Structure 1
Amino acid sequence: MVVSWIVVAVFFSSAELTSDLSIRLFGAATLSPLLVGLPLFYLFTMRMRQLAVENLRLARLANTDSLTGCLNRGAFTELTQEFLSDREGTPSGALLVIDADNFKAINDAHGHDQGDIALTLIAATLRRIVRTGALVGRLGGEEFGVYLPGANRMSAFLVAERIRRGIRRASFSPRGVPCPLSVSIGGASFAAPISFSELFRCADQGLYAAKKAGRNMVEVAAVSLPPAPVRRA
């Protein structure tokens, strides 16, 4: 409103009142909303952009493990379930469960801060090795999960082996003391509809077998589901 009066005053002071006064007033009435509205529109769009960026940041924080930058357990489970519930095409894929070997000994010998460094190193190795489109999550403690859409048993095994070898070759020297890392990996592939809980149970069995076999091992199995019962009318 202040701008409107200023614009009108400029028109009045520029010359004496003439017969085109109505045109001048019309011009003032037309320009003043633009002069006021454009800055307000700019501020509004800037604020909306800031809110969108902030919402994206909060969503990322809610879904991300703060230490490793991987998906947290909730987000990893939810996204994997979305893959499993996709009804288009033939369902297939594999889940790997990765657990750092003797991790408690690392914490006890070198401190939890060095244990955190080891976890970030493992997470970085996982993200570097798995292909685009796969999911990488920290399931809790020193346990990680990798979901490989469309993978069969052999391709899942090869990915797991690359992960195992990559982590074994990783350089980890807490306070200058060399400390080789290793992981045990259990996996399960599927080629028929399956629930996340069943898929995780099968992969976890493979992890148990890898630990029992001496650690620094990979065990991947193809899930064999019983045929669906035939219902008769």
Structure 2
Amino acid sequence: MVTTARAWKGVAWLTFLGTAGILALSVGLNYLLLFSQVLTPFGRSMVTAILLPVVLGVPFFLFIGLKQMEVRRYRRELDKSATFDALTGCLNGAVFTSMVERRTARPSASGPRSGAFLVIHPEHLRSINLRFGLEWGDEALRLIASTIRSSVRAEDLVGRMGTSMFGVFLSGATEAEAKEIGERIRMRVAQVYFAPKGMEDALTIKVGGVVFETEVEFADMFRSAEQRISGAQDGAAFELTHLHS
């Protein structure tokens, strides 16, 4: 309430001062023109009619236009913050889930949908946080997310699932394509230069995935892909299976 009252007080003062300034300018201009020996009465009226709208209108409409640009920028930032994860730039969990569900829904006339779903889990993230601090753990997540996004196709979806897990939806991908993309992500992450506090450290991930050829629920895809991560032990960094309806 106090903040709102102060805001309205500022608006009131701006309105009062702006109106007073406009009145002073108008009266002063008309006073000067009244004693002009060069201009006829018609000329003085034309100067007033043209000059005042220009002097007053240009700053006013420029101000309004700048404010509209500012409002549009704020709206774009709000839309972006509601869609994308602020840390990694990936789709946030809720938006990612909704978009995947829409893409996997089977329209009545188009037949079954196919594709693949990958879950990517960074390894040793807790160790990075403990050894170097949370800011370096965040940097590791940003690097991994950037590598994932640069390794998938333009039509694929990448989302941050929870704190330290990523989901990748490969619409229409075959088993061979899913394996290729999953291995590409894993190898590129391993090649990322990561040197917290000047000490080079390796980034590694495990990838679990499922391929499907019929309409499936998001929860089933996620659970099955996550199970493949749990089953990836000792060097088996990428596990892929088929999901049947």
Contiguous gaps of at least 5 residues in structure 2: 1-21
Partner of 1:214: 234
Asked whether 1:197 is paired with 2:219, we answer: yes
- 1:108–1:29 CA distance, 2 compared to 1 (3 A): closer
**Quick check: 1:206–1:219 contact (8 Å CA) kept in 2?**
yes
- 1:27–1:77 CA distance, 2 compared to 1 (3 A): same
Distance in 1 between the 2:206 and 2:193 partners?
A: 18
Q: Which has the higher mean CA deviation after the structures are superposed, 188-197 or 102-111?
A: 102-111
Q: How many pairs align?
A: 221
**Quick check: 1:186–1:205 contact (8 Å CA) kept in 2?**
yes
Distance in 1 between the 2:136 and 2:168 partners?
A: 24
Partner of 2:244: 224
From 116, 138, 158, the equivalent of 2:180 is 158
Q: TM-score, normalised by structure 2?
A: 0.73
Distance in 2 between the 1:173 and 1:30 partners?
A: 66
- 1:35–1:149 CA distance, 2 compared to 1 (3 A): farther
Q: Which has the higher mean CA deviation after the structures are superposed, 199-208 or 78-87?
A: 78-87
Give, as a single letter, the amino acid of the residue that structure 2 aligns with 1:123. A
Distance in 2 between the 1:72 and 1:82 partners?
A: 16
Shift of 1:99: 0.8
Distance in 1 between the 2:56 and 2:200 partners?
A: 67
- 1:131–1:9 CA distance, 2 compared to 1 (3 A): farther
**Quick check: 1:183–1:216 contact (8 Å CA) kept in 2?**
no
Distance in 2 between the 1:96 and 1:75 partners?
A: 17
Partner of 1:100: 122
- 1:17–1:35 CA distance, 2 compared to 1 (3 A): closer
Asked whether 1:78 is paired with 2:98, we answer: yes
Q: Which has the higher mean CA deviation after the structures are superposed, 22-31 or 216-225?
A: 22-31
**Quick check: 1:184–1:215 contact (8 Å CA) kept in 2?**
no
1:30-179 to structure 2, matched below 5 A, reads 31-85=51-105, 87=107, 91-175=113-197, 177-179=199-201
SS class of match (2:35): helix
Contiguous gaps of at least 5 residues in structure 1: 226-233
Q: TM-score, normalised by structure 1?
A: 0.76
Q: Identity, % of aligned pairs?
A: 32
Shift of 1:161: 0.6
Q: Which has the higher mean CA deviation after the structures are superposed, 3-12 or 117-126?
A: 3-12
- 1:215–1:143 CA distance, 2 compared to 1 (3 A): farther
User: Could you list the per-position Cα deviations for residues 93-138 of structure 1 after superposition, in whole angstroms to 9, with x for gaps in the alignment?
Assistant: 3221001234334444554444333322212221221232322222
